[in-house]
Chains A and B, each alone.
Chain A
Amino acid sequence: MAKFTLDVNGEKRTVEVAADTPLLWVLRDHLQLTGTKYGCGVGLCGSCTVLVNGEAERSCSLPVSQVVGKNILTVEGLGGHHPVQEAFVAEDVPQCGYCQSGQVMQAVALLSAKPKPTAEQIAAAMGDVLCRCGTYDRIARAIARVARR
């Protein structure tokens, strides 16, 4: 075990974990930030997506030792009324909801980089996050809603 001080949602958080522990389990099991979900463990589904220095990353495949000193933003860090979250609520996007944190974080990363994304750019970015319930059409509408602002 080793101590790591992380910058999570603008706060310094110190955890004592094995150095190879993926950020996902640090967030979920040590910091009680359970908004970030486990879906596949190998970066295939995107349920665990968080932003690291503004880029969408799969926290299941990111050892804690590699994120020290970087800005980590989880769904909780958006504050609850982020324009993307408001758009997802307005479009009534979620069904089972399990993938939604990942969808929201991926959309935040996309819209920060490209405030007016093309359909192709949206498809390319959002293709990394699986939804088994099929909320893709409403996600597309929510992203368009933010892009129109």
Chain B
Amino acid sequence: MEGQGLNRRELLNLSLLVGGGLVLGRVWPSGAAEAPTALQPNPFVRVGADGRVTIWVNKSEMGQGVLTGLAQIIADELGADWSQVEAVQADADPKFGNQNTGGSTAVRTQFEELRQAGAAAREMLVRAAAQRWGVPAERLFAKGGKVHDPKTGASLAFMELVAEAARVPVPQNPPLKSPKDFDFIGKPMPRLDARGKVTGKAVFGSDVRLAGMLYAVVARPEVFGAKLVSFDEKPALQVEGVVKVVPVSSGVAVVARDTWAALKGRAALKVVWEPGENASFSTKALLGAMEEAAAKPGKEALRHGQGFVLPAGARRVEARFSLPFLAHAPMEPQNATAWFHDGGLEVWAPTQVPMPARQEAARVAGLPVEKVTLHVPFLGGGFGRRLASDFVAEAVEVARHFTVPVQLLWTREDDMTHDFYRPPSVHQLEAAVAGKQILSWRHHQVTCSIGQQRNPARAGQVDRAALEGAEPPYAFPSWLVEQTLLPVPVPLGAWRSVYASQNPFASEHFFDLVARELGEDPLQLRRKLLPEGPLKAALRLAGEKAGWGTALPAGWGRGVACCSSFGSHVAEVAEVSLHKGKLKVERVVVAVHCGRVINPRLVEQQMVSAVVFGLSAFLRGRITVEGGKVLETNFDRYEPLRFSEMPKVEVYTVPSEEPPGGVGEPGVPPLAPAVANAVLAATGKAVHRLPWEA
């Protein structure tokens, strides 16, 4: 066993310096946490005796701004002074409700609940002030960290009220503020994590440093599903700094005193794999099979009216589109740190699913979940990759051989070649047209089911989740969506906007092909066929801000696409230039209807981010599997958008007081079809497969 040189107290003291209770917002003096007279009506908010406000953020911060946005909601109802607010990433704990961070849900599923959490604390402070002053609580209000009496002009700071407020019964249904009185909701509050992230102080998963910690990497098979036959650990153990070699479910772990020694040990390790049946798998064959399936009828999944009909005298327009596997490639590769101590297990995991990750850690450790503590450091990107807990399980599997903490790090190559990939798809689109009318529409989606790969018992059924974005938003007299699902040995997972990154690409790009066939302007035709509502409002705004119909330089094209997803509605207009076969996306105008905006700056950032994410995939995103192995192993062959390729992006929001929608994902779906439509406008040629090729 390792780490016996340090005693328990030394280990703990050192660990608290770096790991225990990660404060991700501003620095919080540790003594204040034990203040005896704090007001804490619920797990989300505490007002300390010094008046400082701590807010526990239950969703994982991975760039989307939840640390700031969710804190704003609670602080607003509380009536806090923003400069007194600290945001802390919550550990995995059921008391924080559903901590899963995905599906663009952080605000839209919790808005009222978080408001109530803040309002409960505010009501207790207000009632304490009312008692002190002997006036009715109803006429008091909280703002700027004080309770005010508008009649007398008197005010009391929270810190003067905390002790009494803590004795007030926690209100069950505290009154919520009127939106006109919001102080922070709707305002561009600066990100609480910005300074830590530009000074190197922010602690990401791979930055966790604990006394005596060892570093591990895992030798993995190249071929998906290959089995470990044997390994010779001797050459690895001869590398200076290598401490131990341990087989794990996913391969062979090399544990060392620093990362470099672990990497050298892994390179020296001799491992024999049995490749198994997937050694003959290739994406080329899979996409060929998908093309064949697309030419045949699929299983009916959604239908409106008669389904697809081609009346006598109508013309058929058809096209096929092919989309590749994609990797998430977050900038921070997968990692987790695990430490068995005191009969329990402590884990630091940059995860989108804190509770499932904690449960997985407990399962692997053979411990009851109560014996496992899981901290959530910052995530260096997520995009859906960190919905899986494979890297957490792996870290625990390695760490159980030690009494010191072990940090497991995946290399970029590990991350690229052992992802849960966005499935590929082929889409067959058909329209029946006559005159200037679209009479009927058919979309046959051929893809692989993420859900059925996880739960093979559902094979043979329609995968409803895979239909996201496939239902036409337009008033076609009749339409049909068909689905064909093919099994695949490549691990599949949700990738920012999931199937809405695919279906609307095909249908929105096809829409423009049909519009050309009809001789109609694609934006006007959309406006004609969309019912009044938020998507149409977004479309109108995007067209207006983009200057739709105005002249462009020679060699340029302009395209539009729109999609509703994750509770929001986004239209994008792209302008592209093509010179000597070189495509440049010059400008993207985004119009979003996402209900009530909590933080306009975060909304803007997420829309810009979605444009960049979508454009990276459009231009170069492709994962190729040959002989059961992924060929794109690093950023040379899977290169996200670079600085010089950044288009001018403008973001506009449709004003709304509707409940909030999602913002992390909905900006992705319209990007690729808008760019494809701009290419079509510039060249007259459709984009039948991604990534784009001249």
B57 to chain A: closest CB distance in Å?
A: 15
Any A CB within 8 A of the CB of B379: yes
Which of A47, A89, A130, A140 is B198 in contact with, Cβ under 8 Å? A89
Any A CB within 8 A of the CB of B409: yes
Q: Which residue of chain A lies nearest to B256 when distances are taken between CB atoms in the complex?
A: A29
CA distance A47 to B378 in the complex (A): 16
A38: which B residues are within 8 A, CB to CB?
206, 259, 333, 409
A97: which B residues are within 8 A, CB to CB?
63, 193, 196-198, 202, 204, 378, 380
A21 near B258 (CB under 8 angstroms)? yes
Given contacts A123-B643, A127-B642, contact A22 B260 (CB under 8 A): yes
Which of B64, B196, B635 is A130 in contact with, Cβ under 8 Å? B635
A126 near B259 (CB under 8 angstroms)? no
A45: which B residues are within 8 A, CB to CB?
331, 412, 635
60-99 of chain B: CB within 8 A of chain A: 62-65
Given contacts A37-B332, A123-B644, A132-B330, contact A95 B636 (CB under 8 A): no
B634 near A95 (CB under 8 angstroms)? no
A83 to chain B: closest CB distance in Å?
A: 12
A29: which B residues are within 8 A, CB to CB?
215, 258-260
Given contacts A21-B258, A132-B381, contact A137 B197 (CB under 8 A): no
User: Which of A22, A30, A93, A130 has most B Cβ within 10 Å?
Assistant: A130
Q: Which residue of chain B lies nearest to A120 when distances are taken between CB atoms in the complex?
A: B644
Given contacts A29-B215, A37-B332, A98-B331, contact A75 B644 (CB under 8 A): no
B198 near A94 (CB under 8 angstroms)? yes
Any A CB within 8 A of the CB of B608: yes
Given contacts A95-B65, A123-B643, contact A42 B259 (CB under 8 A): no
Any B CB within 8 A of the CB of A92: yes
Q: Which residue of chain A lies nearest to B636 when distances are taken between CB atoms in the complex?
A: A44
B260: which A residues are within 8 A, CB to CB?
17-18, 20-22, 25, 29
B258 near A92 (CB under 8 angstroms)? no
Q: Which residue of chain A lies nearest to B649 when distances are taken between CB atoms in the complex?
A: A137
B198 near A104 (CB under 8 angstroms)? yes
Any B CB within 8 A of the CB of A96: yes
Mark interface residues in B644-668 (1 if CB within 8 Å of A CB, else 0): 1010110000000000000000000
Any A CB within 8 A of the CB of B356: no
CA distance A37 to B664 in the complex (A): 24
CA distance A82 to B265 in the complex (A): 39
Interface size class, chain A: 35 or more
CA distance A90 to B83 in the complex (A): 16
B635 near A35 (CB under 8 angstroms)? no
CA distance A125 to B199 in the complex (A): 20
CA distance A47 to B209 in the complex (A): 19
A40 near B412 (CB under 8 angstroms)? yes
A88 near B194 (CB under 8 angstroms)? yes
B381: which A residues are within 8 A, CB to CB?
96, 98, 132-133
551-566 of chain B: CB within 8 A of chain A: none
Q: Which residue of chain A lies nearest to B616 when distances are taken between CB atoms in the complex?
A: A132
Given contacts A40-B634, A92-B190, A98-B381, contact A133 B198 (CB under 8 A): no
B331: which A residues are within 8 A, CB to CB?
37, 39, 45, 47, 96, 98-99, 130-133
CA distance A44 to B258 in the complex (A): 22
Q: Which residue of chain A lies nearest to B329 when distances are taken between CB atoms in the complex?
A: A132
A-B interface contact total, Cβ < 8 Å: 192
A51 to chain B: closest CB distance in Å?
A: 13
CA distance A97 to B203 in the complex (A): 10
CA distance A131 to B612 in the complex (A): 9
A137 near B191 (CB under 8 angstroms)? no
Given contacts A45-B635, A127-B643, contact A76 B380 (CB under 8 A): no
24-63 of chain A: CB within 8 A of chain B: 25, 28-30, 32-42, 44-45, 47
Any A CB within 8 A of the CB of B195: yes
65-80 of chain A: CB within 8 A of chain B: 74-76, 78, 80
CA distance A80 to B409 in the complex (A): 28
B198 near A28 (CB under 8 angstroms)? no
Q: Which residue of chain B lies nearest to A84 when distances are taken between CB atoms in the complex?
A: B198
A94 near B194 (CB under 8 angstroms)? yes
B259 near A92 (CB under 8 angstroms)? no
A78 to chain B: closest CB distance in Å?
A: 7
Any A CB within 8 A of the CB of B241: yes
Any A CB within 8 A of the CB of B511: no
A88: which B residues are within 8 A, CB to CB?
194, 198
Any B CB within 8 A of the CB of A136: yes
CA distance A47 to B415 in the complex (A): 16
Any B CB within 8 A of the CB of A109: no
CA distance A29 to B257 in the complex (A): 9
B199 near A37 (CB under 8 angstroms)? no
CA distance A88 to B197 in the complex (A): 10
B259: which A residues are within 8 A, CB to CB?
25, 28-29, 38
B273 to chain A: closest CB distance in Å?
A: 23
A22: which B residues are within 8 A, CB to CB?
260
Q: Which residue of chain A lies nearest to B207 when distances are taken between CB atoms in the complex?
A: A34
Mark interface residues in A127-146 (1 if CB within 8 Å of B CB, else 0): 10111111111111000000
A137 near B63 (CB under 8 angstroms)? no
A96: which B residues are within 8 A, CB to CB?
62-63, 330-332, 378-382
Mark interface residues in B587-621 (1 if CB within 8 Å of A CB, else 0): 00000000000000100010011111100100000
Given contacts A18-B241, A96-B378, contact A136 B643 (CB under 8 A): yes
User: Which of B198, B201, B203, B608 has most A Cβ within 10 Å?
Assistant: B198
Besides the known contacts A98-B380, A133-B613, 7 further A-B residue pairs in the complex with CB atoms under 8 A apart: A1-B240, A25-B259, A96-B381, A127-B642, A130-B331, A133-B63, A137-B648
What are 6 sample pairs from A and B whose C-beta atoms fall under 8 A apart?
A: A42-B634, A95-B64, A100-B197, A126-B643, A133-B613, A136-B641
Q: Which 7 A-B pairs rank lowest in CB-CB distance, beginning with the nearest?
A: A35-B200, A134-B612, A98-B380, A97-B197, A96-B63, A95-B63, A34-B207
Interface, chain B (partner A; CB < 8 A):
62-65, 190-191, 193-204, 206-207, 209, 215, 240-241, 258-261, 264, 329-333, 378-383, 409, 411-413, 601, 605, 608-613, 616, 634-636, 639-644, 646, 648-649
